[in-house]
Amino acid sequence: MAKKQQKALFDLAAQDAVDLLARARPDEAMRENMRICEALIFASTEPLSEEEMVKRLPDGADLSAALAYLKADYFTRGVHLVRVAKKWMFRTAPDLAWVLQREKKDAKKLSRAALETLAIVAYHQPATRAEIEDIRGVALSKGTMDVLLETGWVRLRGRRRAPGRPVTYGTTESFLAQFGLEQISDLPGLDELKGAGLFDGRLPKGFGVPQPRDDADLTEDEEPLGDQPLEQSFAADLPEETSEE
Amino acid sequence: MAKKQQKALFDLAAQDAVDLLARARPDEAMRENMRICEALIFASTEPLSEEEMVKRLPDGADLSAALAYLKADYFTRGVHLVRVAKKWMFRTAPDLAWVLQREKKDAKKLSRAALETLAIVAYHQPATRAEIEDIRGVALSKGTMDVLLETGWVRLRGRRRAPGRPVTYGTTESFLAQFGLEQISDLPGLDELKGAGLFDGRLPKGFGVPQPRDDADLTEDEEPLGDQPLEQSFAADLPEETSEE
Amino acid sequence: MARQKVDSLTEFETQGGDTRDRASGDADFRVDLDGYEGPLDLLLELARRQKVDLSRISILALAEQYLEFIEAAQRVRLELAADYLVMAAWLAYLKSRLLLPAPPKGEEPDPVELAASLAQRLRRLQAIRAAAALLMERPQLDRELFFRGAPEGLDIVNAPLYRASLFDLLSAYARQRQKQVLSHVSFKTRQVWSLAEAREALERLIGRSVEWSALDDYLLTWGATPAQTRTMRASTFSASLEMVREGLIDLRQDRAFAPLWVRRKQEPPPAIAAE
């Protein structure tokens, strides 16, 4: 039953959680767990996994509840607690962007080609180069994929079990963090894309409309990258971190 | 009680602000200013000056009040808002420092030299370095004894009443715990070792295995470590915890 | 057609790495159609001008517009990227199929289906563009959203956890003690009376004596300890045999296990020599 409650807490819209917090004050032990989570996530240089927090919390602590309460606590603040790919981070509140945009770094603007390719990889993943080209109706240049791999938002996932064993591309956790998505299924406009038949004609019958997925696990029609030379992909010139993935 | 100590460490003004916060909820405008300060300080890579914040706040905003409220808000949290040289920063609560440091226990195997030295210390304790070297037939490296002291299984017992007053080593309680022994005399004797096939038959007459003892009391030919510098032992470079023993 | 500017020869988006359908170095064949990203992009732009839902778009009208566009482009510059020409050829074919009554044989694909499929592709491209736009509208990290500027970081203190079993310990001990036992074994250094020494001594002995002397007596005169007697006897005997062979001494034994006698080799008596 506790499990069910936790799950409910997690999925609560933030406002609901605020209400919850108003109804039931967390007890002392919970507040201490909240403090610990708060300190941990605050101090961490990267989004913090729930596993890592569990390791540092007292045994048997209800992490989910603590995080739900904490998230609600921060809901009205200038800093928000968000979850991305099952990892937690603090981030400035979106409505305060105007205050913070002082040192607007020259954010590299993605070219239209790169942007569309990123979107195709995100919504259509795992996607091969041929699939990207099919949707855009134009050949994909090496430079475009290089730029995306360099951003760290796109990674090589594996290979499609198909003639030529083409490399499949997918998004990364930092893609989710970049666009403030908790998981890939939170992508905006996913339904419209399904309606537009983005996913048609690729998967064998019986699969239904596929859901984009960025699981580390390969899909049924994927296989590991292996050590076969990647001359058919762009990987030959990749920075090492990326090709190791 | 620990809580109280913490509080003492902190600026009194913080407690005042907590009281203030309890008395009067900040109004909407003030809350917005607090949010802005919160986001600014959070996102800043360096402690943020008050001048910098004033620039970003609406004209006429009461920065001091906003910061005082904000500090009070965070006072009981896992993260504290602190002022250092007129600059503001978030810092994890001092009492949670232990959470931020997690010990990663890497299982490590003892080297053969360390294991043999440990066994000799166990059976022959109190044993001096020279005695260990005599039995092993090779010089004992500093690192080996360091590792054994680090395991917490070996301790400095005292000194041998002999020229040079060499340090004597013995085992600890956690040695017994590690090896599942109730007492050190439970270490198997020669017959048991032979029975276990650990010695082959070619032992000369008179070969024996000592009856080990690990009494905390020093033996007749031992004296306390004293405060004489330990230059003849390995203790000079020991980690502090160990040499304090 | 406001965007119809095909004269700028800046390189096409697909330059460089893409050598699959355009030979690299064939810059002449790349035409910047004012930023159109390929024929599908151009088609989508043309379709947008029909100002109707893409599902109700007139593919026939679209094909005509595209062909007009390409024709116009070719009037300005002949070099058009192959993609555009391939699409033009395909659309011309589609157009003719759409206009002509369906041929009786069902071998060729149904033109209506082909048109629907093209409309589908256009819808798909439009949808992904809309999605990309939605994505970019989201607040982004380091643009609208910021992480903590100066996180302390979480420390992971390495605390090695040593492992060893009692068996490890005991076998280490036994191995060590056993090694010590073996390394402490000392062999008594045996005193060996070398052949050379024995011969030298024997030569000295017979040099003085023309009479038979007992070898054992001789050994005793050297004050050998009992431990040395054996090696002296063995070496002396060997040396004596050697000297007999060389004709330097005579050796005599009266019976088995009787004392050995030795003397310097006598000159044989002439009489015997005469025999």
Predicted local distance difference test score (pLDDT) of residue C223: 59
Predicted local distance difference test score (pLDDT) of residue A107: 57
SS (H, E, C) chain C: CCCCCCCCCCCCCCCCCCCCCCCCCCHHHCCCCCCCCCHHHHHHHHHHCCCCCHHHCCHHHHHHHHHHHHHHHHHHCCCCCHHHHHHHHHHHHHHHHHHCCCCCCCCCCCHHHHHHHHHHHHHHHHHHHHHHHHHHHCCCECCCECCCCCCCCCEEEEEEEEECCHHHHHHHHHHHHHHHHHHCCCCCCCCCCCHHHHHHHHHHHHHHCCCCEEHHHHHHHCCCCHHHHHHHHHHHHHHHHHHHHCCCEEEEECCCCCCEEEEECCCCCHHHHHC
Task: State the 10-residue block means of pLDDT for chain B, 245 residues long.
Answer: 39 61 80 93 90 90 89 89 86 84 72 89 88 86 87 88 88 83 82 80 74 77 69 42 36
Interface with chain A: mutation pick from B42, B73, B103, highest number of A CBs within 10 Å:
B42
Least confident of A110-114, A224-228, B36-40, C67-71: A224-228
Q: Is residue A132 over pLDDT 50?
A: yes
Structural domains present in chain A: 10-100 (1.10.10.10), 112-237 (1.10.10.10)
Measured between beta carbons, the chain C residues lying within 8 angstroms of A100 are: 144, 146
How far the first Cα of chain A sits from its last, in Å, is 39
Measure in Å the smallest separation between the Cα of C13 and chain B Cα atoms: 37
pLDDT tens track for A160-198: 988 989 999 999 988 998 888 888 888 888 877 777 777
Measured between beta carbons, the chain B residues lying within 8 angstroms of C142 are: none
Predicted local distance difference test score (pLDDT) of residue B181: 80
Measured between beta carbons, the chain A residues lying within 8 angstroms of B99 are: 36, 39-40, 56
Please report the ipTM that was assigned to this predicted complex: 0.60
Predicted local distance difference test score (pLDDT) of residue A33: 93
Predicted local distance difference test score (pLDDT) of residue C84: 86
Return per-residue pLDDT of chain C as tens, 275 residues. 333 333 333 333 333 333 333 333 333 334 456 668 888 888 988 888 887 777 778 888 999 999 988 888 888 765 677 888 889 999 999 888 888 876 666 667 788 888 888 888 888 898 899 999 998 888 888 777 788 888 877 776 666 677 778 888 888 888 878 777 766 555 566 677 788 878 887 777 777 667 787 777 766 666 567 667 777 778 888 888 888 888 888 888 888 888 888 888 776 655 554 44
Q: Check if the beta carbon of residue A58 is closer than 8 Å to that of residue A33.
A: yes
Distances (CA, A) of A242 to A92, B98, B229, C61: 28, 35, 55, 46
Which of A57, A54, A61, A60 shows the shortest CA–CA distance to A86? A54
Distance CA(A72)–CA(A91), nearest Å, equals: 14
Distance CA(A180)–CA(C140), nearest Å, equals: 7
Measured between beta carbons, the chain C residues lying within 8 angstroms of B123 are: 173
| A199-212 b/e (C-beta count within 10 Å ≥ 16 → b) | beeeeeeeeeeeeb
Nearest to B46 among C150, C156, C173 (CB): C150
Is the CB of A100 less than 8 angstroms away from the CB of B38?
Answer: no
Distance CA(B115)–CA(B110), nearest Å, equals: 6
The mean per-residue pLDDT over the stretch A91-111 comes to: 76
Query: Global pTM?
Result: 0.59
Measured in whole angstroms, the distance separating CA A62 from the mean position of its chain's CA atoms is 24
Is the CB of B102 less than 8 angstroms away from the CB of A55?
Answer: yes
Strands B154-160 and B167-171: antiparallel
pLDDT tens track for B160-177: 888 888 899 998 888 888
Measured between beta carbons, the chain C residues lying within 8 angstroms of B103 are: 156-159
Is the CB of A90 less than 8 angstroms away from the CB of B42?
Answer: yes
Distance CA(C150)–CA(A90), nearest Å, equals: 12
Predicted local distance difference test score (pLDDT) of residue C12: 35
Establish if B219 touches chain C: CB-CB under 8 angstroms: no
Q: Could you tell me the two tokens for C164?
A: 């060893």
Q: Is residue A140 over pLDDT 80?
A: yes
The mean per-residue pLDDT over the stretch A85-109 comes to: 78
Q: Is residue A141 over pLDDT 70?
A: yes
Distance CA(C236)–CA(C222), nearest Å, equals: 12
Give chains near B: 3+ CB pairs under 8 A. A, C
Strand order of the sheet with strand A167-171? A127-128, A167-171, A154-160, A222-223
Give chains near A: 3+ CB pairs under 8 A. B, C
Distance CA(A121)–CA(A167), nearest Å, equals: 12
Give chains near C: 3+ CB pairs under 8 A. A, B
Establish if A186 touches chain C: CB-CB under 8 angstroms: no
Q: Is residue A42 over pLDDT 70?
A: yes
pLDDT tens track for B178-223: 887 888 888 888 888 888 888 776 777 777 778 777 777 778 888 8
Predicted local distance difference test score (pLDDT) of residue A129: 93
